[in-house]
Structure 1
Amino acid sequence: MRKSRGLRLEDLADEGISPATISNIERGIAHVNSSKVYYLVQKLGLNMSEIPSILMEQEEELKDLKLTLDSIEAIISMGKYDEAMTKLEEIKIEDHHPYSAILHYIKGKCYAGMKKWNRAERSFSMAISLANQNRDQENIEAASFAELGLCCYRQNEIEKALEFTESGLDAFQESGGRGYVKYVLLRNKAVYLERLGRVNEGLRVIQEAWDQIDQIDESATVLNLYSARAELLRMAGQNEEAIKYAQEGLELSRRNKNYQCMFDMWTIMGSVYTSEVQWEKAERCFYTALASQGLLESEKALTDTYVWLGILYTEQKKWAKAKTYLEKAVTNAEAHNDAPKLTYALRIMGDYFKQQGKKDEAIPYYQKALKLARSYGYKKNQSQILFRLSQCYQETDRQEFEKCLLNMYEVQLETKNREADIFEEAE
Structure 2
Amino acid sequence: MHQIKVSKEKMGEIFRLRRKEMGLRQEDVANKAGVSISTISNLELGNHTVKEESIVAYAGALGVAEDIFGLLSDAEQKEQKAKRELGKIEKIIRANPDEALNQLTELNETFNLENSKTLLPLANYLWGKCYLEKRKWQQAEKFFKETVLLLEQQIEQNEELKHSNLLAACFNSLGNIAFYENKLKEAIEWTEKGLASFTPSGKRDYLYYFLLYNKSLFLQNTNDLEKTNEALEHLQQEINAIETEGRLLENVRLSVIIQYYDTYATVLNQMGFTEKALEYAQKGRRIAWLNHEYDALLTLWTTIGTIFSNKGDLTSAKECFLQALHIQPKIKREVLLSPVHTHLGKLWLEQSDASIASKHMKKALSISKKYKDVPGQINAIQILGHCHLAEDHYEEAIKQFETGCNLAHQHEMHEQELALLDDLSSTYEKMGDRDKFLTCVEQSYRIRMKQKIGGGT
By how many angstroms is 1:189 displaced?
Answer: 2.4
Alignment of 1:270-419 (within 5 A): 270-395=305-430, 396-415=432-451
By how many angstroms is 1:156 displaced?
Answer: 3.8
Aligned mates of 1:77, 1:333 — CA distance in 2: 22
Alignment of 1:167-316 (within 5 A): 167-214=193-240, 215=242, 216-316=251-351
Q: Of Structure 1 and Structure 2, which has the larger fraction of its residues in helix?
A: 2
Structure 2 counterpart of 1:69, from 86, 89, 107: 86
By how many angstroms is 1:55 displaced?
Answer: 4.8
Structure 2 counterpart of 1:110, from 112, 118, 130: 130
The question of whether the paired residues in 1 share the 8 Å contact of 2:349 and 2:387 is answered with yes
By how many angstroms is 1:171 displaced?
Answer: 2.5
Secondary structure, in 3 states, of the residue corresponding to 2:135?
A: coil
Secondary structure, in 3 states, of the residue corresponding to 2:328?
A: coil
Unpaired runs of 5+ residues, structure 2, are: 1-68, 156-160, 243-250
By how many angstroms is 1:110 displaced?
Answer: 1.1
Secondary structure, in 3 states, of the residue corresponding to 1:212?
A: helix
Aligned mates of 2:226, 2:450 — CA distance in 1: 19
Cα 1:314–1:94 change in 2 (3 A) is: closer
By how many angstroms is 1:358 displaced?
Answer: 4.2
Structure 2 counterpart of 1:82, from 91, 98, 112: 98
Length, aligned pairs only = 367
Aligned mates of 2:381, 2:87 — CA distance in 1: 44
Query: Which deviates more, 55-64 or 96-105?
Result: 55-64
By how many angstroms is 1:139 displaced?
Answer: 1.5
The question of whether the paired residues in 1 share the 8 Å contact of 2:318 and 2:344 is answered with yes
By how many angstroms is 1:58 displaced?
Answer: 6.3
Letter in 2 for 1:93: L
Please tell me whether residue 147 in structure 1 is matched to residue 173 in structure 2.
yes
Give CA-to-partner distance per residue, 1:138-184, whole Å, 9 cap, x none: 11111111112222333344443333223322322334322221221
The question of whether the paired residues in 1 share the 8 Å contact of 2:354 and 2:388 is answered with no
Give CA-to-partner distance per residue, 1:210-250, whole Å, 9 cap, x none: 11123352111111111111122222332222211110101
Percent identity, please. 28
Aligned mates of 1:357, 1:208 — CA distance in 2: 49
The question of whether the paired residues in 1 share the 8 Å contact of 2:269 and 2:310 is answered with no
By how many angstroms is 1:356 displaced?
Answer: 4.9
By how many angstroms is 1:260 displaced?
Answer: 0.8
The question of whether the paired residues in 2 share the 8 Å contact of 1:198 and 1:418 is answered with no
Aligned mates of 2:219, 2:390 — CA distance in 1: 30
Aligned mates of 1:153, 1:271 — CA distance in 2: 23
By how many angstroms is 1:355 displaced?
Answer: 4.4
Query: Which deviates more, 362-371 or 396-405?
Result: 396-405
Aligned mates of 1:312, 1:191 — CA distance in 2: 26
Normalised by the size of structure 1, how large is the TM-score? 0.79
Letter in 1 for 2:90: E
By how many angstroms is 1:61 displaced?
Answer: 4.4
Letter in 1 for 2:197: A
Aligned mates of 1:186, 1:412 — CA distance in 2: 33
Normalised by the size of structure 2, how large is the TM-score? 0.74
Aligned mates of 2:217, 2:253 — CA distance in 1: 17
Structure 1 counterpart of 2:188, from 162, 165, 171: 162
Alignment of 1:6-85 (within 5 A): 55=72, 60-79=77-96, 81-85=97-101
Aligned mates of 1:295, 1:268 — CA distance in 2: 18
CA-based RMSD of the aligned residues comes to 2.4
Match of 1:26 in 2: none
Secondary structure, in 3 states, of the residue corresponding to 1:294?
A: helix
Match of 1:120 in 2: 140
The question of whether the paired residues in 1 share the 8 Å contact of 2:213 and 2:260 is answered with yes
Aligned mates of 1:370, 1:82 — CA distance in 2: 38
Aligned mates of 1:93, 1:361 — CA distance in 2: 57
Letter in 2 for 1:84: A
Please tell me whether residue 134 in structure 1 is matched to residue 154 in structure 2.
yes
Letter in 2 for 1:126: E
Please tell me whether residue 98 in structure 1 is matched to residue 118 in structure 2.
yes
The question of whether the paired residues in 2 share the 8 Å contact of 1:267 and 1:285 is answered with yes
